[in-house]
Amino acid sequence: MRHSGEPYLTHPIEVAKILTILKLDSPSIAAGLLHDTAEDSKISIEEISKEFGPTVAQLVDGVTNIGKIVFKTKEERQAENFRKMILSMSKDIRVILIKLADRLHNMRTLQHHTPEKQQWIAQETLDIYATLANRLGIGWIKAELEDLCLRYLRPDVYFDLGDRVEKKKDEREKYINEVIEIVKRSLAEHGFKADVQGRSKHFYSIYQKMQKQGIPFDEVYDLAGIRIIADSKFNCYGILGVIHSLWSPVPGKFKDYIGVPKSNLYQSLHTTVICLRGERVEFQIRTEEMNKIAEEGIAAHWKYKEKGQIDERDRMVFDWLRQLVEWQQDTKDSMEFLDFFKVDMFADVVYVFTPKGDIRELPKGSTPIDFAYSIHSDIGNQCVGSKINGKIVPLRYQLRSGDAVAIMTDPKHMPHRDWLKIVKTQRAKSRIKQWIKVEERRRSFEIGKNIFERELKRHNLNQNELQRHPKLAEALKQFNVPNIDELIVAIGYGKVSAHQAVNIFSPEKVVQEKEVSKKRPKSAKVGVKIKGIDDILVQFSKCCNPVPGDRIIGFITRGRGLSIHTKDCPNMDQLDYNRDRMIDVEWDVTEKQAHPVEISVLTLDKPGLLANVSSAITTSDANISHAEATTREDKKAVLDFVVDINDLEHLKKVIEKIQQVEGVLNARRVRRG
Ligand code: MN
């Protein structure tokens, strides 16, 4: 039973009747009859689908979903978002029309509710549904909803207006009929075929006019006006000429909505003239078709078509729909986009609720992380999880219109580089990047400081001395950094080598080193003995970076002397066909010599690991000349180092140390093929 005491069935039947007036198709009318079943009975959408087909089921589902949206606020800006949310949730325009019919009948029978509930529903109807009806161009539903809303929101005004209009009615009707007769005669004289009707303003628009212009009822002159339905667009203008030749137009009151239609496709000529006995009368002149659009809106365009056969006119309707919801993006392929019934106007936005009931608009595909950043950067940075409609979801969950989103935060938590791959909004992206940049700088500073200080120590220098060092300015200039801290960061990033940097402050040692390296190829001091050959140019290959202890072999290059590879160097396969250029060599370690070795470390992606691994390397007496961290999609990170290694034993020790660091999965020497 309804509150009125009538059988509940009367409601769905009345809703279905309204849908027939809108001339909707049979699935819509069926869905109108069934619209409350999913919510108010034990019938499931699946059962409806089985009994009545998937289209009816989808429509009922759509109406049910809109019914679940809770309107918590009366603010205007929120109302617009609610309207958008409704439109975005109803992928099919018929869902909105069924919902409008539902609301219209509920408003017609609102007298059976408590005054509080009446006010609440009426306000919501005025804010959301009357506006939607207007946007969809359905003038009669808009007018009826507005009048019903006025009745419950301002009963004093409503009934007062009723009395006044009633009192003036006879007098007004008599006057209008007099005008109509004159117009009819005059149009016939000029050979125009047209239908001339009187029309009265609905209460809410009278009320709006009084409010807007701050005038009493008696000064609202156009309580009734005249509508002329012409047989062609061309004749609308001709008839306008006849009216203006009968009576003088009021300046500024002429509107050509035929030449420039309203955004809801409304077309008509409007003019106000000083009519019989000096009274102002408004004329609306339009064709039958324009009149239909003014009253029925989208429903006037309702046609059944095979998919893919969208003509210019339908295109216009959908353009209109797009416009009325302030479609902002340029759709490249409107034909593809406008699958006839499917008005996926918000293909790329979703509307979700904050815990306070506000609505946020986000691009489609947005995740809880995007939502968190849309609230506040700190909430984004500290976001550890999310609840959607009370249920915990993964952070890569894609938000859907109507979702109520709550973010769980942890002040100790930090943004993750992988987030960049799942977030959708520019805001979230730039905030995460910003954070990573700051964090990377911090880590680079740590690593750089470590490398730099070791290098300084080797040169018997310390950082404090550098601040006053005469070569400071020269060094900063050469590496294009403003101060020592930035130089350290550059070293940590691997942009500048600690060697190079310290060489500027303490060049003597460099000369010595250069001498060593010059001598290196020429004698046994290089650390390699060559059987039977003396005085030959030797270089250690860059592909396998041999260290003392490796099994090695020499390869006689053309013009670059003897190149030393490890026996298991991946390049040996290629060199193999030149066996006669191979030469046996062995280590002669009379002198400790640092050899650069590439070490690649696979770790969990946790903050601080780069610093921990770096310190494991340096505590095993190895110098890091380059360090680089790369995060992978699988929540792991790869840390690449170039480390100065004395010999194989030393290398083993370093790798062992690295593997002892918590979070390290694997460490290996890199050989390039
Ligand atoms: Mn209902």
Residue among 297, 330, 373 nearest 136 (CA): 297
What pLDDT is attached to residue 240? Answer: 93
SS3 assignment, position 380 = helix
Q: How far is the CA of 350 from the centre of ligand 1 (A)?
A: 25
Q: How far is the CA of 64 from the centre of ligand 1 (A)?
A: 9
Distance between CA atoms of 424 and 370, rounded to whole angstroms? Answer: 7
Q: How far is the CA of 16 from the centre of ligand 1 (A)?
A: 10
Query: What separation in angstroms does the CA of 45 have from each of 15, 103, 241?
Result: 19, 21, 58
Residue among 255, 247, 254, 252 nearest 273 (CA): 247
What pLDDT is attached to residue 221? Answer: 73
Catalytic status, residue 219: no
C-alpha distance across the termini of the chain, in Å = 82
Distance between CA atoms of 200 and 180, rounded to whole angstroms? Answer: 14
Q: How far is the CA of 36 from the centre of ligand 1 (A)?
A: 5
Distance between CA atoms of 229 and 291, rounded to whole angstroms? Answer: 8
Query: Which residue numbers in the chain have pLDDT < 70?
Result: 70-81, 84, 87-91, 263-264, 297-348, 494, 507-538, 556-561, 573-581, 589-592, 673
Q: How far is the CA of 304 from the centre of ligand 1 (A)?
A: 26
In terms of phi and psi (left: phi > 0; alpha: psi -120 to 50; beta: otherwise), the region of 416 is: beta
The answer to whether the Cα torsion of 80, 84, 90, 96 is positive or negative is positive
Query: What separation in angstroms does the CA of 588 have from each of 122, 251, 320, 664?
Result: 96, 107, 86, 34
Residue among 270, 353, 371, 311 nearest 89 (CA): 353
Q: CB of 270 within 8 A of CB of 257?
A: yes
Structure confidence by residue, pLDDT tens digits, 591-633: 667 788 999 999 988 777 888 888 888 888 888 888 877 878 7
Give the type of residue at 82: F
Exactly one of 40, 465, 513, 515 is catalytic; name it. Answer: 40
Query: What separation in angstroms does the CA of 32 have from each of 36, 94, 188, 299?
Result: 8, 10, 46, 15
Q: CB of 392 within 8 A of CB of 385?
A: yes
Q: How far is the CA of 69 from the centre of ligand 1 (A)?
A: 14
What pLDDT is attached to residue 531? Answer: 54
What pLDDT is attached to residue 341? Answer: 31
Burial 26-62, CB ≥16 within 10 A → b, else e? ebbbbbbbbbbbbeeeeeebeebbeebeebbbbbbbb
The per-residue pLDDT of the chain, averaged, comes to 79
Question: What single DSSP character describes residue 54?
Answer: H
Structure confidence by residue, pLDDT tens digits, 523-556: 334 466 665 444 455 678 878 888 888 888 877 6
Q: What is the pTM of this model?
A: 0.55
Residue among 486, 440, 437, 444 nearest 627 (CA): 444
Q: How far is the CA of 72 from the centre of ligand 1 (A)?
A: 20
Catalytic status, residue 39: yes
Distance between CA atoms of 492 and 447, rounded to whole angstroms? Answer: 5
Q: How far is the CA of 6 from the centre of ligand 1 (A)?
A: 14
Question: What single DSSP character describes residue 556?
Answer: E
**Vertex 139: Cα angle to 133 and 143 (nearest 5):** 85
Q: CB of 22 within 8 A of CB of 139?
A: no
Exactly one of 6, 25, 36, 39 is catalytic; name it. Answer: 39
State the pairing for strand pair 280-287/528-530. Answer: unpaired
Residue among 49, 59, 83 nearest 342 (CA): 59
Give the type of residue at 245: S
Q: CB of 553 within 8 A of CB of 584?
A: yes
